[in-house]
Structure 1
Amino acid sequence: MLNRAAIIIKYKQPAVDWINDADPYDTPGISIESVNSESHVYLIDHDDAEVLDDWIKLNYEALFFDELMGWYTDESLWPKKRTLSLFKKWFHIECHTIILDTVGTPIVSEEI
């Protein structure tokens, strides 16, 4: 069992609408189901899970950046005002506090 909690970001329809509207290639629209079929998982300090709202307030800008960068690296396509309110309208946060490591080998951190 790891001494971490995991947050998983799930997209809400307004975020999916942005993905489709901002698409510079006019590819066929993406659905909320396909967007949420793979999600980013962020490990946080286990104690932060108890005060998740406070943690989100402190870290939503970095999370927002990471999620938008995953879709379009051209920041001119991004919303100009990325507020906490917009973040909450676009994303649902799931928090999981029991993380079990079933592999049994050391966890290795890789730089991105």
Structure 2
Amino acid sequence: MLNRAALLLKYKEPAVRWINEADPYPDGKILTIEDVNRERTVYLISDADAGTDDDVRRWVEANFLSLWEWELEGWYTDERLWPTDQTLNQFDEWFDVEYHTVLIDTVDGPLMDDEV
């Protein structure tokens, strides 16, 4: 068992609308909520920051800009396409936050950081 919690962002309709409008696919394909929520990034946070819903909310309030930038960059690296109004209220309009406090490592081997 890992001493971490997992935090995931679930996209809502305003975020999906931005994805489709910021840089439309040439073939006219429109992504759905199901499409964008199929493969999500898992953010590992301290298990101490996920003891309660209030703890998670405080962590999100302190870190929402970083979360948002990671998500936006995952779609478009050109920051000119990003929304300019990156407030906590807009973050809440774009994402639901899920968290999970029990993480079990089933792999026999060390955890490694690819970026070190």
TM band (smaller chain): over 0.9
Moved more, 26-35 or 86-95: 26-35
Matches within 5 A, 1:11-50: 11-26=11-26, 27-50=28-51
Alignment-derived partner of residue 7 in structure 1: 7
In the TM superposition, structure 1's runs of 4+ consecutive aligned residues that sit over 2 Å from their partners are: 24-27
Deviation by residue 1:13-46 (Cα, 9 ceiling, x = unmatched): 1100000011155441111101000000000000
Q: Across the two proteins, how many residue pairs are aligned to each other? A: 112
Q: Quick one: distance in 2 between partners of 1:46 and 1:110?
A: 22
Asked if residue 79 in structure 1 is aligned to residue 109 in structure 2, the reply is no
- Bigger shift: residues 41-50 or 25-34: 25-34
| 1:100 is aligned to 2:104 | yes
- TM-score, length of structure 1 as denominator length: 0.95
Provide structure 1 residue ranges, at least 5 long, that are not aligned to the other structure: none
Name whichever of 61-70 and 17-26 sits farther off.
17-26
Other structure's SS at 1:43 match: strand
Q: Give the match for residue 57 of structure 2.
A: 53
TM-score, normalisation: structure 2: 0.92
**CA-atom RMSD, angstroms?**
1.3
> What is the distance in 2 between the residues matched to 1:71 and 1:11?
12
